A and B are shown apart, each in its own frame.
Chain A
C-alpha cells in the first residue's frame, strides 16, 4: 500500500467533498438558487397531508362545508403547480451544472494520466487508469442522477415533514422519531455491511472479466493446447463466485428496506394509540391525526431506500476520491512549460553527464554514465538483455528522469526543455509498434495530421516501402484493426517507423524498431533510413548487430556501464571483449 492510498482511506467524506469542490468551483455556481428551488419542491410533498388535515377539520368533520373544501383544494393545487415547476427547474439546474463540471473533471483526469511519467503509468494496471476517467466518473454522475436527487429531496423532506409534524403535535413527532431511531441505527450497520458486500461483488466481477478476457484473447493457446475444459472450469468458478456475491448483497439490501418498513408499521401503530388518547384530551383534531398517518408514509420511502442510496453515495464519494487522487499526483517528469527553453535549431548533439538511474526501490540500472555523441552521428547501442540499453533510450527521450546527473541536448539540460519543442525534435520508435484502430494513413500522420495522402505515399517511397504499401488491400486506407492486429507484427513496425519518419525529427531514437521484420527488408530499411536521416542524429538500440555494423559508432552497454565504444571495425578486433563475444555469436547465428 502506498502512502497515497493510506491517506485516501483515512480522508473523511467531507474532506473529499471539499477537495472536489475546490477542483470544480463551477459546482458552486448558483448552488443557493438550486437549493432554494429544492426546498420549494419539498413543500409540495407535505402539501397534500396539510390539505387533508385542513379539509377534514374545517370542511368535513363537524359540519360539511363544501366551499371550504373547494378553496383548500384549489389553493393546494396551485401550490402543487408551482412546486412541480420548481422541481423541474431544480433538476435542470442540478444536472446541467453537475454534468458539465464532471465532464471537465473527466477530461482533466485523462490529460493528467498522459502527463504522468511512463514509470507511473506502467506501475498502475492499465485498466485501473482507464477506470479513473470512465467508471469512477460514471459512478458519480449516475449517483447524482438517481440517488443524489433522492438524497437531496429526501433529506429536505425529512426536515420539512418533521417541521409540519412538530407544528401539529410534538408528542406524536416524538413517537415517530423513536419508532424510526432503531431503524436508523440498524441501517447504519447494514449499510457498512452492504458496502463490503458490494466491494466483494466488484472484486469478483473484476476477476470474472479477467477470466472472460483470457478466454477471448488466449483463444489460440486454449485451442492449441486443448485446455478448453480447464478454461471452462475457471470461468464457471468465476461466474458462480460473482453470482453468490450478488445474492449476498441483495439479501443485505432487502433486510435494510424491511427494517424501514417495520419502523413505519411501528410508527403508524404508535401514532394511532397516542393520537387517539391526545384526541380524546382535545389537544389533537381528527384532521391532524389523519394528516399524521399520511406524513408517516412520507417517512417510509426515504428510510426504505436509505441503505441503497447511502451505499451508492459512498461509492460515488470513493470514485470521486480516486479521481482526485490521480489528479493530485504531481507528474514526476514534468513539462517546464512557459519557463522552459526551446532546443537550439539544427542537428542535436547528446551529452550524458554523470547519469545514474535506478527504478524506485530497485538496484541501479545505469551507473555514472558520462558520454558525448556529436551531432549528425549515427550511433548503435548494443548489449545483452537487461544490460540497461533501453533505459538509455528512455532517459534520452525524457520518458524518465535520471536518479542523478543530467542529460543534455545541444547543451540544454532536458529537464529545461519545453515538451512541445522536445517532442517535435526528438522522436522515439518503440519496439512495440502500437497502432491506433484507424487506417494505415491515419496512423502514419498521427503526429502531423495536415499531411496529404500524396505526401504519405512519397514518404513510403522514400523509405523503400512503396511495394509493401501497394500490396495492401486498400493502400493507405487499409484499416489496421485494434492495436494494429490486422497487420503482422513486422508490418506494424513498418507503419510505426513511417509514422516516426514523417514526424521529421532532428534526433531519432530507434528501440529495436525492426526486430520482427525480415532481414532483407530490414537491411533495405536501414540503408534508406541512413540516406534520409543523413544530417540528423540517430541512436538505435539493437540486438541484431547488422545495425551496429552500419553505425558510425557503437556503444556497448554491460551491466549498466558503458564498456566499449568506437566503430564496429575497431571494436570487433578485441575478440574477448563484450562486443567481440556478441559479434561472434551473431556471426554464428547468421552465417
Chain B
C-alpha cells in the first residue's frame, strides 16, 4: 500500500514539478525557521535576559536586535507558509482539474456499451470524489517533506548542541513519528468504512426520495425510514469508532513532546551541573521540542490519506485505461445530394455484454435485415421487449452490432465520420433527455446554421411552438434540471424539435410520442410527412417504432419483430393477412371491443334468464 501510495505521489510530482518545488522550498524555509526560532528564543533568554537581569541594566542595542530577530523570523515563516500552502493548494487543484478533464473526456469518447456497463452513480463519483481522493494527500505533502528535512536538521543541531540532549531527541522524535504512523494506519480503514457508509446512506436517501411517490402511495414511509436508520446507525457507529481512536491518539500526540520537554529539563539540568551546556542551550532545546510537535503531524496526514488516494487513483485509472472506443471512419456521405438517405440492416446480431465476464451475453437481436428506402417511412412494430429500441440505437450508431452491417446510402456506418453521421441521422428516444439550459440551446445544441428562425420552424413542426411561446421568456426560458419544469409530452416535443432542427436525412423515432395526446401526435406526423419544400416529397426517410395504428398507417412498409428477430416485412395489409402475431398486436383494441360486445350480449342473455324464472315462480 505504501509503495503504491508513493507511486501516486510520484506521478503527481512528475506532472507538476515546478509548483511542487515552490511548495517544498516554502516548507523547508518554514521548517528551518522553526529550528532557528528555538535557538533565537534560547539565545534571547540565555544571552540577553539573564545577563541583563544579572547586571541590573538593559542593553538597548541587544534588546532591539532580539526583538527584530524574533519578528523577522515570523516574517520569514509567513513567506514559507505562503510558498508551502499556496504551492500545495494550487498543485492539488490543478491536478484535480486536469484529471477531471481527462476522465470526462473519456466519458465522451467511450462507447455507449461501456456506459451501459457502469452505473451512473459510479461514473459521477469517478469524475468527482475519486479524483478528489486521489490528490488529497497533495495538500499536506509539501509540509510533510519540509518536516522530514526539519527533523533531520533538528537532530543534527541537537548533536551539535549536546549529545545527551540529542539522545532525548532521538528517543522522542522517532517515537512521535511512530505514533503518527500507527495512528494513521489504524485510522485509514476506519475512515474508509465511514466514507463508504456515508455513500451508502446517501444512496438510500437518493433512491428513496426519487421513489417518494411510490413510498407514499404504498404507505411504506416507516419501512423506508427503518432501512435508512439501519445504515445511518452503522455510519454513527463507524464515526464513533473514528472518534474514539482520535480520543486515544490526539492527547497522546500532544503529551509525548511535553514529556520530551520535561526530559530535556532533567537531562539539561544534569548537563548544566556538569558544565557541558549553557542556559541558552537548555532553553533552546526545550523550546524546540514544543514547536516541533505540530509539524510532525503533517507526515501522519499524508500517510493517513494514502489508502484512500490509492483507491481513488485505481478507480480513475480504470476509466482512463478503458478501451473499446467506437472509432469513427473517414468517409463522408456526399453533401451534394441532400435528399433522404437509405438505411439498410444486413444480418445484424447484437447482444448486451454480460454482467459477469465468464457468462454469455443476453442476445437481443439475431439475423435482423431490412431496408428503409430513401424517402420512405418504415414502421418497426413488435411486442414489449422485442428489441425495437436496440434496432433504433444501431441505426444511428449508438452501439455497433456483434456481426452484420448497418449501412447508410450503402456505406457502413462505422466508416463514416462523426460529423457526417450526426448530420445525416437523428434519433428521438423513448425517454426524452433535456439539458439544464435554455429552450433555444436544447433545440439548437450550438450546431452550425441553426438560427432562431430554424429553431422556431422545428418547434412548429413538433407542435411545440405553442407552449414555448407561452413560456415566460420564450426561447430564453431555462428548462431546469432534466427538464422537470416541463410535462412529459412537452419534453418529448422539445426533443423532437431538436432532431428536426438538424434537418436529418434519416429520422429515427423510438416511440417518441407516447406521452403526447393522440390529436397532437396526428398533427405532428402529418407535419413530418409534408415537411419537404415540395408537397408530396418528404425531406427525410423515417424509421418509426410504433404501436398506434395511425402511425403505422403512415408507413410504406412495416417490419414486424418478435424476440429480436424480424418475423415479417410488408405493407400493413399484407401483414394483417399473413402474420397472426401482428394481427393480435395491431388489432388488439378492436378485438377487445368485439369481445366486449359479445360478452355484453352474453351477460344480457344470462341476466334475462333468471329474471324470466323469477317471473314464472311469481306466477
B90 within 8 A of A: yes
Q: Is the pair B58, A276 in contact by a Cβ cutoff of 8 Å?
A: yes
B258 within 8 A of A: yes
Interface residues of A in 369-397 (CB under 8 A from B): 384-386, 397
Query: A3-11, A104-112, A344-352: which lies at the B interface?
Result: A104-112
A489 within 8 A of B: yes
Residues from chain A with a CB closer than 8 A to the CB of B50 are 61, 286
> In the complex, what distance in Å separates the CA atom of A64 from the CA atom of B56?
21
> In the complex, what distance in Å separates the CA atom of A22 from the CA atom of B224?
26
Interface residues of B in 365-408 (CB under 8 A from A): 382-385, 389, 393, 396, 398
Q: Is the pair A385, B86 in contact by a Cβ cutoff of 8 Å?
A: no
Known: A269-B68, A427-B218. A210 touches B436 (CB 8 A): yes
Give min CB distance, B256 to chain A, whole Å: 9
> What string of 1s and 0s marks CB contacts (under 8 Å) between A254-273 and chain B?
10011001101110111011
Of B108, B240, B251, B287, chain A has the most CB atoms within 10 Å of the CB of B251
B177 within 8 A of A: no
Query: A73-81, A161-169, A451-459: which lies at the B interface?
Result: A73-81
Interface residues of A in 225-263 (CB under 8 A from B): 225-228, 230-232, 235-236, 239-240, 242-243, 246-247, 250-251, 253-254, 257-258, 261-262
A361 within 8 A of B: no
Known: A92-B247, A218-B433, A585-B518. A468 touches B385 (CB 8 A): yes
Q: Is the pair B128, A423 in contact by a Cβ cutoff of 8 Å?
A: no
Residues from chain A with a CB closer than 8 A to the CB of B93 are 243, 246-247, 250
Known: A220-B429, A588-B550. A265 touches B85 (CB 8 A): no
Q: Is the pair B384, A44 in contact by a Cβ cutoff of 8 Å?
A: no
Query: B159-167, B341-349, B420-428, B530-538: which lies at the A interface?
Result: B420-428
Residues from chain A with a CB closer than 8 A to the CB of B586 are 519
Q: Is the pair B430, A516 in contact by a Cβ cutoff of 8 Å?
A: yes
Residues from chain B with a CB closer than 8 A to the CB of A125 are 481
B454 within 8 A of A: no
> In the complex, what distance in Å separates the CA atom of A435 from the CA atom of B115?
20
Interface size class of A (residues with CB under 8 A): 35 or more
Give min CB distance, A473 to chain B, whole Å: 6
> In the complex, what distance in Å separates the CA atom of A582 from the CA atom of B498?
28
Residues from chain A with a CB closer than 8 A to the CB of B259 are 77, 80
Smallest Cβ-Cβ distance to B585: which chain A residue: A520
Known: A276-B63, A523-B592, A543-B517. A216 touches B209 (CB 8 A): no
Residues from chain B with a CB closer than 8 A to the CB of A522 are 588
Q: Is the pair A88, B112 in contact by a Cβ cutoff of 8 Å?
A: no
Which of B71, B75, B94, B585 is within 8 Å of A518, CB to CB?
A: B585
Residues from chain B with a CB closer than 8 A to the CB of A365 are none
Residues from chain A with a CB closer than 8 A to the CB of B22 are none
Known: A99-B236, A239-B97, A239-B100. A261 touches B74 (CB 8 A): yes
Give min CB distance, B582 to chain A, whole Å: 10
B16 within 8 A of A: no
Q: Is the pair A209, B269 in contact by a Cβ cutoff of 8 Å?
A: no
Interface residues of B in 409-459 (CB under 8 A from A): 418-419, 421-423, 425-427, 429-431, 433, 435-436, 445-447
Residues from chain A with a CB closer than 8 A to the CB of B97 are 239-240, 242-243
Q: Is the pair B433, A221 in contact by a Cβ cutoff of 8 Å?
A: yes
Query: B2-10, B199-207, B330-338: which lies at the A interface?
Result: B199-207
Interface size class of B (residues with CB under 8 A): 35 or more
A72 within 8 A of B: yes
> In the complex, what distance in Å separates the CA atom of A215 from the CA atom of B422?
17
Interface residues of B in 464-511 (CB under 8 A from A): 481-482, 487-489, 495, 498, 502, 511
Q: Is the pair B225, A107 in contact by a Cβ cutoff of 8 Å?
A: yes
A289 within 8 A of B: yes
Chain A's interface: helix, strand, loop or mixed, by majority?
Answer: helix
Q: Is the pair A69, B265 in contact by a Cβ cutoff of 8 Å?
A: yes
Q: Is the pair A230, B49 in contact by a Cβ cutoff of 8 Å?
A: no
Which of B104, B423, B481, B550 is within 8 Å of A215, CB to CB?
A: B104
> In the complex, what distance in Å separates the CA atom of A228 from the CA atom of B382?
33
Residues from chain B with a CB closer than 8 A to the CB of A224 are 396, 398, 422, 425-427
Interface residues of B in 86-127 (CB under 8 A from A): 86, 89-90, 93-94, 96-97, 100-101, 104-105, 107-109, 112, 115, 119-121, 123-124, 127
B155 within 8 A of A: no
A475 within 8 A of B: no
Q: Is the pair A106, B232 in contact by a Cβ cutoff of 8 Å?
A: yes
Which of B109, B202, B266, B590 is within 8 Å of A591, CB to CB?
A: B590
B208 within 8 A of A: yes
Interface residues of B in 187-209 (CB under 8 A from A): 198, 201-202, 205-209
Q: Is the pair B218, A446 in contact by a Cβ cutoff of 8 Å?
A: yes
Q: Is the pair B107, A215 in contact by a Cβ cutoff of 8 Å?
A: yes
Of A91, A225, A235, A431, chain B has the most CB atoms within 10 Å of the CB of A225
Give min CB distance, A515 to chain B, whole Å: 6
> In the complex, what distance in Å separates the CA atom of A90 from the CA atom of B107?
48
Residues from chain A with a CB closer than 8 A to the CB of B127 are 212
Which of B124, B209, B489, B593 is within 8 Å of A212, CB to CB?
A: B124
Residues from chain B with a CB closer than 8 A to the CB of A261 are 74, 77-78, 81
Known: A77-B262, A423-B217. A276 touches B49 (CB 8 A): yes
> In the complex, what distance in Å separates the CA atom of A59 from the CA atom of B218?
79
Residues from chain B with a CB closer than 8 A to the CB of A107 are 225, 228-229, 232
Query: A12-20, A133-141, A316-324: which lies at the B interface?
Result: A133-141
Taking A48-B262, A73-B265 as given, write out 11 further A-B residue pairs in contact, using a Cβ cutoff of 8 Å, ordered by the A residue number.
A134-B198, A209-B124, A214-B435, A258-B82, A272-B66, A280-B52, A293-B45, A520-B588, A521-B383, A582-B519, A591-B590
Query: Could you list some 6 contacts between A and B, CB below 8 A?
Result: A51-B265, A81-B255, A106-B201, A134-B198, A220-B429, A261-B78
Closest 4 CB pairs of A and B: A265-B74, A423-B219, A226-B422, A95-B243
